[in-house]
Structure 1
């Protein structure tokens, strides 16, 4: 997988059917992530919001393995998060944001988490969302994922990331311009 984003923001009928098939199979295989939810209701939401399928496809294409992890009763939106066991392969080796990318003089990564998420039409998980995801099952045992960073930390050059080690979620800091082969980001999409 590459961490470049497709410029074409429409899916063919065949691509839509393939994506929905993959999402349905993942949904049915992982009912512990969304107990009490019915696929038919999720499918109806997807059918009514086909413009969001492109973003879900980008999550899938970059190895995020998106799945339903919640439902917002106020807005009636289903919440999809990346549920790959490790930080998505197609979104690793990237720094936090454009400012961090541009500040690097040597060995610049190809991209950054904030721009990639924006281009994909998704949002980085917050620390709270990351912790909630980890309550569903264990993720990032060998990798780590950038999370949304408060502006006061970012203004000082830092950025936050999380992982799962020793039976706990850990929140760490690093220079926003750092990047590692085992660090990417997890995204969220509401439909």
Structure 2
């Protein structure tokens, strides 16, 4: 199962790179649904990762972390798949209807916005628990990197509050969401986990 998870993990990495490389071309022809589908497939490939790390590392922290990791991935898989169907439906129906576009904007705000930000907060908690688990298992470099990723909760929490408040708060207005940064840190996070898992599989044989 570890080997299969590694293969799936690298397929997810390839899907991310395909999405990144083809993003401009797909966006230019209005195929945003395909972009979200590729991301949904990417997260699907990464679903086994928390379970494998639960087997690989010892301690109570990793057991709790597995729950947060699975929850994060399922949330992203769920929202990306729903956004795919919604985007394709709106494009097929047409975007000239003002009422339809209002409903579309409402749906996208529901399926992304606070939902995706909450998922990223959960990922930060997972990273923190992974950090403790790596520390307990004497993988200090991995622990340090996971602790660094967990600090991103200081970025995602303000964004979550900002997107959830009707009235704006000045201090929160200073925090800006950056899609490129979010995608890049997500890629780096999973790349590190997959590389470590790959090395464990190679050297355990």
Give TM-score scaled by structure 1 length.
Answer: 0.25
Which structure ranks higher in relative contact order (CA pairs < 8 Å, sequence separation ≥ 6)?
1
How high is the TM-score relative to the length of structure 2?
0.24
Give the structure with higher Rg (CA): 2
